[in-house]
Amino acid sequence: GKSIVAAAICAALAARGERVAAFKPVVTGLDDPPGEWPRDHELLAAAAGSGQAPADVTPATFGPPLSPHYAAELDGVELDPAALVEAAYTAAAATGILICEGVGGLLVPLTPSYSVRDLAVELGLPVVIAARTGLGTINHTLLTIEAARTAGLTVAGVVMTPWPEFPEAIERSNRRTIEQIGGV
């Protein structure tokens, strides 16, 4: 969901003539065969339409489909938060508009002491939360909203994905409940 939402935002901005850069600090799971969609950094590079190479979108990639901090540990490296922030600023410098996709959720560790949320705070970007539509999404999404706001992040919205062509009552209720309780 996150990659599709981020790519859709990039593509929409590019379609209206904006120059946009995409950024995702880490991609794991490259050992797995590609699925229906291109790999995250490849999809984001193509959607941004600004000539970015996938390596410009994502400075750190790992084979195993694991949490970034653990994938890095198994590879014998530790991700450098300052280098990730610098890579994001470098990506944004060419266009002025940066769409940054997280890795997992806000509290996923990039290092043992630095999370996706820490990176979001340093970048100071508003947050768009990609949420599932079905059972369990209310708690998960409201916790994510709370974790973002507790850190001082602005929650710009929640995108429930994939939204079905013919949503059932639970999906409509989940959307309404998250909107009302979460104030989004």
Place of tokens 């990659």: 3
3-state secondary structure 125-168: CCEEEEECCCCCHHHHHHHHHHHHHHCCCCEEEEEECCCCCCCC
Instruction: Name the DSSP class of 23.
Output: E
> Torsions phi, psi of 72, nearest 5?
-65, -45
Is 24 among the catalytic positions?
Answer: yes
Judged by DSSP in three states, 47 sits in helix
Q: d(Cα 19, Cα 48) in Å, to the nearest integer?
A: 8
Active-site residue among 7, 11, 24, 84? 24
Q: Contact at 8 Å (CB) between 158 and 125?
A: no
Tell me the chain's radius of gyration from C-alpha atoms: 16
With CA atoms as reference, report the closest residue to 104 among 181, 11, 29: 29
Q: Which residues are catalytic?
A: 24
